[in-house]
């Protein structure tokens, strides 16, 4: 029997749905250009790619901060050197 995944609307226009792959591991599905996601650890948040469009990147950061208040952003991992994976990084600087 297939495991049912926890899928919710992320609330950020254009980012599609946020899917929890495993406890604390999230991706945004149906986002054009890359699949941004994050991992929540005991130490903080690790981002995997970031949304390209500034408004989406800012909204995404705000929603992560609301979900995990006070947890620091530890790392941003870019899975590709193209701008669709890295241009939004600037909106996650401390």
In a domain, 5, yes or no: no
Q: Indicate the number of domains in the chain.
A: 1
CATH number of 78's domain: 3.60.15.10
Q: Which domain holds residue 35?
A: 14-92
pLDDT tens profile 27-63: 988 777 778 999 999 999 999 998 888 888 898 899 8
In a domain, 74, yes or no: yes
Please give the pLDDT value at position 93. 82
The CA distances from residue 5 to 8, 44, 47, in Å, are 10, 23, 20
- Cα–Cα distance measured from residue 64 to residue 37, given in angstroms and rounded to the nearest whole number: 10
In a domain, 2, yes or no: no
């Amino acid at each position: 029997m297939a495991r049912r995944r926890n899928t919710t609307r992320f609330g950020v226009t254009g980012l599609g749905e946020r899917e929890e792959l495993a406890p604390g591991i999230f991706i945004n599905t149906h986002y054009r250009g890359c699949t941004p996601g994050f991992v929540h650890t005991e130490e903080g948040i690790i981002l995997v790619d970031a949304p390209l469009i500034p408004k989406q990147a800012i909204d995404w950061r705000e929603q992560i901060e609301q979900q995990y208040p006070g947890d620091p952003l530890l790392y941003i991992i870019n899975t590709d050197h193209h701008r669709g994976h890295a241009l939004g990084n600037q909106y996650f600087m401390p």
